[in-house]
Amino acid sequence: MVESTSSSKFDSRASDWKRFVRRVLEALHLLGLAIFLHRQLRYVRYGLVTLLRAMSKWPRVGPAFDTLAVRLDGRQMTHFGQTEFLRVIEAVKSAGLTFWVAGGWGLDVLVGCETRRHGDIDIVLNSYVDDLGAFDALARSLGYRHLMTRGGTAWFPDAAVYENERGLQFEALGIDWGLLRSMHSFVSEATAASSDPSDITRSLLEYCTTEGRIGATSVPALSLEAQRLFHSGYEKRREDDSLDEVIDLITNERDGWRLPDLTTNGAASDRRRSAPITLLFIPVFDLPDELWRLCKLYHNDLDHIAPHITVAYPFLPLTNITADVVETLGSFFAAVPTVDFAMDTLTWFGSDVVYLEPTPVDAFRSMVVELQRVFPDFVPYDGEFETIVPHLTLSEHGSEGDRRQLAQRAKKFLPLSATATHVWLMSNHRHEGDWTLIKVFELGEGA
């Protein structure tokens, strides 16, 4: 969808008006108050959405509240998934623009896979002033319209926001190379010893940028060090809670395997809890936005543990996960082909768990059986069940009535399809019921 010239003029006038209001507020020393009030309104909106979500479970009148919650919180349901992400990235690459991905997707390309659902992409342009015109035309050709221009952070002072009709957004960011150059003595001894601007720029590029990938696609990205800068200078959002976890994961991958520090968390402080254990599962992010929201509504905390198909629970005690175990797991999963699967059947474990059954189910069952052969100490579910039933849980918390409501409303989204490409190693070393991602294994490398 290509926007008309009149729409472009309207966007420009709206941006000019916002800049004018910002200047007035700054002149009156009221900008801080305005930001505070805006933040409080966000909190009120979040509280109202939470209330509407709870009321949407009421019999008969619930759907009306559900509709209001969707309208008020629609932006929070959007998923800038891998397919659309790669479509945008390939288009920007084809346009010949020099850019790097930052933010949540920027970290994920350093991991090599999606680690959480994202609502947007942050694209850093090498020359914001010179490249924004070409980027704007490209965005419109992809079906995105210019939504606003706003100030960013100290390191990325300019941001042009684009949005499509589904509510997906990406931002074109300008990086302040001048500020980085002024701090080059903190970056590298080599640049500190040089007064040649080209040497400083080259060293900064090497320090701040790298190449990541998603699947077989190479993606220019800010380096881990630059990502730390990107995630500073603004008020942290709820989705940033997992930032340190992903940074630790990338650092561990780069520097070599090491166990999480057990002396600074609940595993060490609470002597009553059992020793930390590990879990292996296949994450599944490609659920429809509305089904994702329904699962969150009915007591599944999908912000902390993704929908998944379990491969090994419990796997091994965390202290048994040595570098040799990690290497063995890496070789094992590299020899397992990726799996395209469907989920068209919704069923139950008794009345406690409602789940989707993946097909072909034998592909997942054989993975578990082979893992038992390689690790004889691993006993699925501690031997509690005679038969291995691969499944993707939709809900196992709250009341039985809640689960039945979810099951009834989830049927309209079937059938679903997805591809198993990675296996995550999780541990509960921080708190017994809180799972942390500590290693990612890719399927199919050696298949």
Residue with tokens 């509407």: 52
Looking at the fold, whether 155 and 274 belong to one and the same domain comes out as: no
What is the structure's pLDDT at 8? Answer: 39
Q: Can you tell me the distance from the alpha carbon of 413 to that of 408, in angstroms, rounded to the nearest whole number?
A: 10
Residue 372 belongs to a domain: yes
Co-location of 83 and 54 in the same domain: no
Amino acid identity at 412 = K
Asked if residue 233 is part of any domain, the answer here is: yes
For the sheet with 158-163, list strands across it. 145-151, 158-163, 169-174, 120-125, 99-102, 217-222, 209-214
Residue 25 backbone dihedrals phi, psi, to 5 degrees: -60, -40
The answer to whether residue 437 is domain-embedded is yes
- pLDDT value at residue 239: 56
Task: Find the CATH number of the domain harbouring 261.
Answer: 3.90.1140.10
* Any domain includes 246: no
pLDDT at 273: 62
Q: DSSP character for 317?
A: B
Q: Scanning the structure block, which residue is given the tokens 């039933």?
A: 389
Collect the ranges in the chain with pLDDT lower than 70. Answer: 1-19, 22, 31-32, 35-36, 38-43, 45-47, 49-50, 53, 57, 66-67, 69-78, 152, 182-202, 230, 232-241, 262-273, 299-304, 445-447
Q: Is residue 111 part of a domain?
A: yes
215 touches 85 (CB < 8 A): no
Q: Does 97 share its domain with 71?
A: no
In this prediction, residue 152 carries a pLDDT of 65
Q: Which of 76, 94, 114 is the last residue of a domain?
A: 76
pLDDT at 78: 67
DSSP 35-51: HHHHHHHHHHHHHHHHH
pLDDT value at position 346?
A: 93
Q: Which two tokens stand for residue 1?
A: 């969808």
Q: Which residue is it, tokens 């694209």?
A: 123
107-109-110 Cα angle (round to 5): 65
Could you tell me if 178 and 154 lie in one domain?
Answer: yes
- In this predicted structure, what is the pLDDT of residue 6? 36
Q: What pTM, to 2 d.p., does this model score?
A: 0.77
| Distance from C-alpha of 271 to C-alpha of 3, rounded to nearest angstrom | 61
Is residue 195 assigned to a domain?
Answer: yes
Q: How many domains does the chain have?
A: 3
CATH code of the domain containing 230: 3.30.460.40
Closest CA to 89 of 225, 249, 211, 205: 211
For position 29, what pLDDT does the model report? Answer: 74
Whether 177 and 294 map to the same domain: the answer is no
- Residue after which a domain boundary falls, among 61, 76, 91: 76
93 and 116 share one domain: yes
Helix (H, G, I), strand (E, B) or coil at 100: strand
> Distance between the two ends of the chain, CA-based, in angstroms?
40
Q: Which residue range(s) make up the domain with 403?
A: 257-442
Instruction: Based on the fold, state whether residues 180 and 170 are members of the same structural domain.
Output: yes
Same domain assignment for residues 311 and 330? yes
Position 365 in a domain: yes
Are both 84 and 149 inside the same structural domain?
yes
In the block, residue with structure tokens 């309207």: 10
* Domain presence at residue 250: no
